Amino acid sequence: MLFVEGLAMLRQLIGQVQELLDLYGTPLPPPLPTAPLPYIFHHQPPTILAPPPQLHNDRWCYMDLEEKASEDDCYDLVMRGGKFKMLGPPTKRSRKERKLPESPSNKTMEEEIWKEFPEDLHEAVIARLPVAAFFRFRSVCQKWNSLLTSNSFSLQCSQLPQPPQPWFYTRTHENVNTGAMYDPVAGKWHHPTAPAIPTKMILLPVAAAGGLVCFLDIGHRSFYVCNPLTKSFKELKGRSVKVWSRVAVGMMSLNQSGYRIMWVGSDGEYEVYDSKTDTWTCPGNIPASVKLPLSLNFRSQAVTVDGWMYFLRSDPDGIVGYDVANGIWKQFTVPAPVHLSDQSLAECGGRIMLVGLLTKNAATCVCIWELQKMTLLWKEVDRMPNVWCLEFYGKHIKMSCLGNRGLLMLSLRSKMMNRLVTYDVFRKEWFKVPNCVLPHSRKRQWIACGTAFHPCLTAKA
């Protein structure tokens, strides 16, 4: 009986993957291809993860994304397109197109065929499932449930292109410990049932890279790194430079697995953490050509382009850049647009962008600028539709940018309003985000902070 149920689940799995292939046009390669598939956004070659070491102190608490979804929900999750519109269930076929019921002999023969389905293709198929679908199908059997610790499954996942759309990890005012994650392709919020990091301290997401999210405690003392999907976490070693004031934080993924995290304070103190050596280092001092104090904009997240980390600053208005590999600092003076407030840096395809509020008299609008490398000036490239901006007329609006990589998530707040919108920089399209509501509750959650991350099932802290 269990074998027949497993076959039924496997056939459903294959069907969903076939729907994905029809939708996105991604071919199914051999079980273990020798050449990596091309990335969608990255201009660097994809990373082949080395086999993970033996697990010793890692804690694995797999995320519950099932939410008791029905078969219609599964189909709906797969069939949502890039414009976040819901596609309905499959249309009914005409009588001529309907197949006759299969005879018992055909059923037996079909089960015999599925029985011979190569084991190594199971992982190739499962690795191509949407993240939420994977967490549903892992309940089929114990073997599929253990895929997250499989070396061969990690290799399969590493050879796939990075998902075109990031997810957003957020913390809410009402539920600051567990947080909430938003999948823009499915247009759906996911609510973890357990905290990403088992600590009583209030942790704020400040950066992300390679499927991992970096947290900083509210006292600016301890850093944590976590995979929000699998709950793989790590508390970083204590910093050698004791700075308890606010710091700006950036994070980048390394080519040969691993990551680096950098923090910098307004007075010029900074350190870089390397996950390979598990150490904090201070490579040098900020040169005299960079004006101190830095007057960093702590509301803006850092962006990473070609190995450089860029931080937004004021007095003078502009950007401070740091070459992580070579330890070189540069300062770029870029005049800010007039009537600008709540600005944040963003990045898209190697381009440095700026998003902020333009307020004049009683009118407020969200605008997008791109940095012109030749002139070092901001050029406006888009702004929010006027119909949406009318809602802000006469109100004191505050904005924060929760995700700044290709797809931006913006939180717009006033005393009686809390709106979430996303902006696709490539397509220049604006989308409204559904309200964040806890399961079995009608109360809307107010988003406090967040960051964008690309979901990765095999990323380890």
The larger pLDDT score, comparing residue 327 to residue 62, is at: 327
Q: Is pLDDT of 345 > 90? A: yes
Q: Which pLDDT value is given to residue 159?
A: 76
Q: Which pLDDT value is given to residue 123?
A: 78
pLDDT digits (tens, 9 = 90+) for 102-113: 555 555 556 677
**Angle of the 151-158 helix axis to the 119-126 helix axis, nearest 10:** 50
Cα separation values, 299 from 243, 246, 247, 249, Å: 18, 11, 10, 11
Residue 281's DSSP bridge partners are 272
Instruction: Report the pLDDT averaged over residues 379-403.
Output: 90
pLDDT digits (tens, 9 = 90+) for 292-332: 888 888 888 999 999 999 999 988 899 999 999 889 999 99
Length of the chain: 461
Sheet holding 417-424, edge to edge: 377-383, 363-372, 351-360, 340-348, 398-405, 407-414, 417-424, 429-432
Q: Which pLDDT value is given to residue 18?
A: 61
Distance CA(17)–CA(23), nearest Å, equals 10
The larger pLDDT score, comparing residue 178 to residue 438, is at: 438
Query: What beta strand segments (E) does 148-285 contain?
Result: 167-172, 180-183, 188-190, 203-209, 212-217, 223-226, 233-235, 248-253, 259-264, 270-274, 279-281
How far is the first Cα of the chain from the last one, in angstroms, to the nearest whole number? Answer: 39
Q: Which pLDDT value is given to residue 55?
A: 36
* Sign of the torsion formed by the C-alpha atoms of 65, 71, 77 and 78: positive
Residue 100 structure tokens = 């006759």
The larger pLDDT score, comparing residue 438 to residue 177, is at: 438
* Region for residue 311 given its phi and psi (left: phi exceeds 0; alpha: psi -120 to 50; beta: otherwise): beta
Residue 329 structure tokens = 């600092």
Distance CA(85)–CA(74), nearest Å, equals 15
- Whether this model's pTM surpasses 0.85: no
Distance CA(290)–CA(339), nearest Å, equals 26
Q: Which amino acid is at 97?
A: E
Distance CA(278)–CA(368), nearest Å, equals 38
Distance CA(52)–CA(247), nearest Å, equals 32
35, with CB counted inside 10 A (0-12, 13-18, 19+), is exposed
Q: Which pLDDT value is given to residue 82?
A: 37
Q: Which pLDDT value is given to residue 313?
A: 92
Peptide bond into 293 cis (omega under 30): yes
* Sign of the torsion formed by the C-alpha atoms of 395, 401, 402 and 407: positive
